[in-house]
Amino acid sequence: MSVRSTEVRLAARPHGWPTAGTFEITQTDVPDPGPGQLLVRNRLMSVDPYMRGRMDDRKSYVPPFQVGEPLDGGAVGEVVASAADGFEPGDTVLHGLGWREYALVEARSAVKVDPAVAPLGAYLGVLGMTGMTAYAGLLRTAEFKPGDVVFVSSAAGAVGQVVGQLARHRGAGRVIGSAGSAAKVAYLTDELGFDAAFDYHDGTVREQLKRAAPDGIDVYFDNVGGDHLEAAISALNVHGRITVCGMISVYNATEPTPAPRNLAMLIGKRITMRGMLVRDHGDLRETFVKEVAPLVADGTIRHRETVFEGLERAPEAFLAMLRGEGVGKNLVRIG
Ligand code: NAP
Nearest Cα neighbor of 176 from 243, 232, 99, 119 is 232
Dihedral sign of CA atoms 160, 14, 23, 59 in order: negative
Q: 30 C-alpha to center of ligand 1: Å?
A: 33
Q: What is the mean pLDDT of residues 119-142?
A: 98
Model's pTM, two decimal places?
Answer: 0.98
Cα 130 to Cα 161: distance, rounded to the nearest angstrom: 10
Nearest Cα neighbor of 42 from 5, 68, 14, 11 is 5
Residue minimizing CA distance to atom 32 of ligand 1: 246
48-105 pLDDT, tens digit each = 999 999 999 999 999 999 999 999 999 999 999 999 999 999 999 999 999 999 999 9
Q: Is the pLDDT of residue 176 over 90?
A: yes
Q: What is the mean pLDDT of the chain?
A: 98
Q: Which residues contact residue 297 at a Cβ distance below 8 angstroms, ignoring those fewer than 6 apart?
A: none
Q: 50 C-alpha to center of ligand 1: Å?
A: 9
The whole-angstrom distance between residue 177's C-alpha and the CA centroid of its chain comes to 16
Whether residue 53 has its Cβ less than 6 Å from ligand 1? no
pLDDT at 256: 93
Distance set, CA 57 to CA 8, 64, 67, 195, 279 (Å):
18, 6, 10, 42, 22
Q: Which atom of ligand 1 is nearest to the CA of 200?
A: 20
- Return the CA Rg of the chain: 20
pLDDT at 249: 98
Q: Which atom of ligand 1 is nearest to the CA of 130?
A: 43
Cβ pair 310, 331 in contact under 8 A = no
Whether residue 8 has its Cβ less than 6 Å from ligand 1? no
Nearest Cα neighbor of 162 from 12, 4, 292, 22 is 292
Instruction: Provide the percentage of residues in the chain whose pLDDT is more than 90.
Output: 99
Q: 250 C-alpha to center of ligand 1: Å?
A: 11
Whether residue 47 has its Cβ less than 6 Å from ligand 1? no
State the virtual CA torsion across 296, 307, 164, 118 in degrees, nearest 10.
10
Whether residue 165 has its Cβ less than 6 Å from ligand 1? no
Whether residue 161 has its Cβ less than 6 Å from ligand 1? no
pLDDT at 1: 80
End-to-end CA distance of the chain, in Å? 21
Q: Is the pLDDT of residue 335 over 90?
A: no
181-229 pLDDT, tens digit each = 999 999 999 999 999 999 999 999 999 999 999 999 999 999 999 999 9
The backbone torsions φ and ψ at residue 262, rounded to the nearest 5 degrees and listed phi first, read: -110, 25
